[in-house]
Structures are given as structure tokens and as C-alpha cells.
């Protein structure tokens, strides 16, 4: 018996593809979103889901995707995983024109628009899960990824605020704070990940974190768990954190 419909954005590869498979194994009918038509169709076929291609940087595409997901669910949606992300690494002064707009559109505006479009259906049935795949860059800031970090910080704040609004409902908001995950993200951002430590961890670990938010209603999961430590240090001793970051920090890089 189906457990309902789950929409996963950015599911044509990486964390999204593994998450789509995990949801399908648990009985959800998955709406698989991606930009690459062939890759998206391949993942959808593998999980017996529904492929929907859309470029979330374009106006109206998030709403079109939400409408299709609701059509699949006959007006209901149980799970929304906002995973689609876009990155760029380099000196902020050299960022190509339009890149900042695209980063903010895909990483921040689109998840807000999708959540706004799908939340009424969840409110109607007083049940649902909304999960945001964020980044440690949004908690700490990362040199070379200023706009990306800002977009993820905004996503974190949106999730926290929304959680407060929905506290008395059956809807739960989860955030996965991802570190360095082994996905094509780094190749696509224009600069491969080159640090020897920390080493990228498997996409399955991030997908498991997403599933914790879905199945348990967990509000926040760090991947890996030790990433919580620098966030705590920054909060309680910002001067110490800045000294450590200056001494040991280097190339940025998240999922």
C-alpha cells in the first residue's frame, strides 16, 4: 500500500537520487525532479516514480512542479524534499554576471516557492514533512562561496521560522546540514574539491539523514555529526573560531 506522494527536487543524481530510492523502498510514490531529461527519467524508472523536468532558476517553474506533484497525489502530498542546489566557487569579484541571481533563485527562492505551493495541501490534512538539504556553509560562511553560503543561511532561517509557525500542527520541518558529500556538485560548481581532509562521505549518509527527518520528524541533522562542533565553537567563542578558521581554513566546499 502506498504511503503517499513524495517530491524530491534535484533527484537526477547525487543525494536526491539516493533519497528518491529510499522513499520508494518505504512505499512512497516519488515525483523525481531534475533538469537533465534523460537522467531524471532514468531515476524515475528505477524507483517506479514520475519524472518532471524543470529549471528552478526560471520564474514559474517551481509552481509548475508543485502543480504536477499535486496531480500525481490527487491533491495530496506527504513529503517535500528541497534538495536541488547550485554552486559556484571563486573570488566574489570574478563571479560571472547573473550567477548570483541563479544561485539565489535555485537555492533559496525555489524552495520557498515550492513550500508555499504545497503547504496548503499538507495543512488541509494536518500532516506532512518538508525537508531542506542545507549546508555547513550556511552555518559558518565559507571563503570562495559567499553567495552560496548566503543562500543556504537564508534557507536555514526560513526553515526555523516556518517550524515555529507550524509547531501546533502535524507538519514537521527538517534541515539536513551537509558537509562534504561525494556528489557531482563540485564538478558542476566549476572548481573540484581538492582538500585532503575532510574526505567526502557517501551520498547514502546524506540520504539517511533526510529519511530521519521524514520518518522521525527530526528537526536538524548534521552530516557528518561532528560538523556541529565548529558551529558550537563559533557560537560560544567567535574569536577562537575566527583564529582557528584563519589558521586551518582553506578551500570551501560542501555538498
**Mutual orientation of helices 14-25 and 37-46 as an angle, nearest 10°?**
20
- Pairing of β 4-8 and β 50-53: unpaired
User: What is the per-residue DSSP string for 74-106?
Assistant: TT---EEEE-------S-GGGPPTTHHHHHHII
Q: Report the C-alpha gap between 90 and 145 in whole angstroms.
A: 7
Q: Report which DSSP code applies to 200.
A: P
> Active site residue: 148, 193, 222, 241, which one?
148
Residues 6+ away with beta carbon under 8 Å from 141:
149, 153
Q: Report the C-alpha gap between 57 and 104 in whole angstroms.
A: 8
Residue 148: active-site member: yes
Residue 255 burial (CB count, 10 A): 28
The answer to whether 109 and 34 are in contact (CB under 8 A) is no
The answer to whether 58 and 156 are in contact (CB under 8 A) is no
What is the Cα 152 distance to its own chain's centre?
9
Active site residues: 148
Amino acid at each position: 500500500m502506498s504511503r503517499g506522494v513524495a517530491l524530491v527536487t534535484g533527484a537526477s543524481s547525487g543525494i536526491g537520487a539516493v533519497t528518491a530510492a529510499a522513499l520508494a523502498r518505504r512505499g512512497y510514490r516519488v515525483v523525481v525532479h531534475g533538469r537533465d531529461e534523460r537522467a531524471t527519467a532514468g531515476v524515475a524508472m528505477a524507483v517506479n516514480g514520475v519524472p518532471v523536468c524543470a529549471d528552478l532558476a526560471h520564474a514559474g517553474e517551481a509552481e509548475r512542479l508543485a502543480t504536477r506533484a499535486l496531480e500525481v497525489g490527487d491533491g495530496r502530498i506527504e513529503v517535500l524534499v528541497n534538495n536541488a542546489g547550485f554552486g559556484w566557487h571563486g573570488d566574489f569579484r570574478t563571479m560571472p554576471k547573473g550567477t548570483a541571481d541563479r544561485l539565489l533563485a535555485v537555492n533559496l527562492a525555489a524552495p520557498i516557492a515550492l513550500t508555499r505551493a504545497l503547504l496548503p495541501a499538507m495543512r488541509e490534512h494536518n500532516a506532512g514533512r518538508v525537508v531542506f538539504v542545507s549546508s555547513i556553509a550556511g552555518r559558518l560562511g565559507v571563503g570562495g562561496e559567499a553567495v552560496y553560503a548566503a543562500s543556504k543561511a537564508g534557507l536555514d532561517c526560513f526553515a526555523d521560522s516556518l517550524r515555529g509557525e507550524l509547531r501546533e500542527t502535524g507538519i514537521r520541518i527538517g534541515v539536513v546540514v551537509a558537509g562534504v558529500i561525494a556528489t557531482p556538485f563540485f564538478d558542476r560548481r566549476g572548481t573540484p574539491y581538492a582538500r585532503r581532509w575532510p574526505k567526502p562521505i557517501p551520498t547514502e549518509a546524506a540520504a539517511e539523514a533526510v529519511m530521519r527527518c521524514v520518518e522521525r520528524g527530526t528537526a536538524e541533522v548534521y552530516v557528518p555529526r561532528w560538523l556541529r562542533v565548529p558551529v558550537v565553537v563559533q557560537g560560544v567563542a567567535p574569536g577562537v573560531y575566527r583564529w582557528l578558521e584563519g589558521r586551518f581554513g582553506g578551500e570551501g566546499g560542501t555538498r
